[in-house]
Structure 1
Amino acid sequence: MKHDFAETFNQLDADFFCVQETKMQEGQLELELPGYHQYFNYAERKGYSGTAIFTKHEPIKAMYGIESDEFDHEGRAITLEYPNFYLVTSYVPNSGAGLKRLDFRMGWNKAFHEYLNKLDKAKPVILCGDLNVAHKEIDLKNPQSNHHNAGFTDEERESFTKLLGEGFMDTFRHFYPDQKDIYSWWSYRFHSRDRNAGWRIDYFVASERLANNIQDSKILTDVFGSDHCPVELDTGEL
């Protein structure tokens, strides 16, 4: 909010805004967003994690979490149900320095993918989020030096590959399979964004059967205000 969020929000004029890592508790911020319904999922721990969706389209219902007692304490997912699809936003756990949270992360992945597959059996899914994984070497600037670091471990990458093999698509790579040097996150250290030494860890993943409805998938690298930049999905009527 201190870095032109309102201006960016109004310029983009999207039907759905998905936000990850809000780090908020209920009541900390009153957002005036005329014409938008607001949905928040807060972590039990203050100043940590959290997700939000702002939408012009009131859903059939909103669901919070991934139906897992083990993983639903950090506010990491919101699902909105519509007549013909589900929209999910998620802030996937980071494996952390020294991979101290890798086991937790992989447990989350298993539970989350089971949840997505359950939804997908009912109707198609669009997942937007900071998924905290660079899938292929093309998806980060320095793959060799980051191999086995959080977000680029073999385990995390293989898990993402498995999800895509279960009927989902990485929408950006669907349109731009070979595009290099485009990222969605840059460390605040070492002038990383100035040097474009980044990672592509923010995604729109969608059920493959929505491919004909999706018109483009973009990474808005000219939008500042965070160590991430927004990603955007353009669709026809769903």
Structure 2
Amino acid sequence: MKIISWNVAGIKARANEIERLMQEYHPDIVCLQKTRTDKAPDFDVYRIYVDCVDRWSGVATYVRSGLEGNFIESDSHHLILDFDEFVLVNAYVPYSNPKVSGYIERRKEWDKWIVEFVKRQTKPVIICGDLNIVHTDMDSFYSSCVRNTGCYYQWERDDFNRLLSECKLVDTFRRLHPEDRAYTY
């Protein structure tokens, strides 16, 4: 099973690159975030699921023909599909922007919701996408981590640790690159 995830920051502008990615790697599933539209392009041999309500959000999941997945739900920040052996969450987690009223609360609600959702599942869960978290200082582009701003709040890190530990999930990037200072946007 090959799954590719990418925050495209606008699916229309990246259509040719997405098509090349599909032709070169032949993924079974492609999860895109920050699509900024619900008018996602069609690609041969892929079924598409898409949800977007504004120009700042949106998720699209492409599933190769022959791979059966059942749509569970979506809300412009996540799209969930149920496959025979796992549940897939394609997420563009709400940004905890301190300058916009209600955004921190919305993020805190999402963090609580995703833990409870994963705990209710009877199959393994794969979460991919833009999780809008700088989990550790090594995950920051900046050499000194910025504190008390969106993606860097200690409560966000604590919530992410809770998701990993209570739901028995693995941060695959960190598992594969435990010593690399890198950001994954």
TM-score range normalised by the length of the shorter chain: 0.7 to 0.9
CA distance in 1, matches of 2:172, 2:149: 25
Asked if residue 48 in structure 1 is aligned to residue 48 in structure 2, the reply is: no
Paired residues in the alignment total: 169
Are residues 99 and 150 of structure 1, via their aligned partners in 2, closer, same or farther at CA, if it must alter by over 3 Å? farther
Listed as ranges, the gaps of 5+ residues in structure 1 are 66-71, 186-238
CA distance in 2, matches of 1:90, 1:107: 14
Q: Report Cα offsets for 1:25-49 as digits up to 9, x if no partner.
A: 3xx34x2311111111232xx3231
Identical-residue share of aligned pairs (%): 27
Q: CA deviation at 1:7?
A: 2.2
Partner SS, residue 158 of structure 1: helix
CA distance in 2, matches of 1:165, 1:139: 18
Are residues 37 and 85 of structure 1, via their aligned partners in 2, closer, same or farther at CA, if it must alter by over 3 Å? same
Listed as ranges, the gaps of 5+ residues in structure 2 are 1-11
Asked if residue 32 in structure 1 is aligned to residue 37 in structure 2, the reply is: no
CA distance in 1, matches of 2:80, 2:143: 32
In structure 2, the partner of 1:116 is: 118
Calculate the aligned-residue CA RMSD, in Å.
Answer: 1.9
Q: CA deviation at 1:8?
A: 2.9
Which runs of structure 1 show a deviation greater than 4 angstroms over 4 or more consecutive aligned residues? none
CA distance in 2, matches of 1:144, 1:47: 31
CA distance in 2, matches of 1:146, 1:22: 27
**Which of 13, 18, 22 does residue 2 from structure 1 map onto?**
13
In structure 2, the partner of 1:91 is: 92
In structure 2, the partner of 1:153 is: 153
Are residues 59 and 80 of structure 1, via their aligned partners in 2, closer, same or farther at CA, if it must alter by over 3 Å? farther
Q: TM-score, normalised by structure 1?
A: 0.65
Q: Given residue 8 of structure 1, which amino acid in structure 2 is its aligned partner?
A: L
Q: CA deviation at 1:113?
A: 1.5
Partner SS, residue 9 of structure 1: helix
Q: CA deviation at 1:98?
A: 3.5
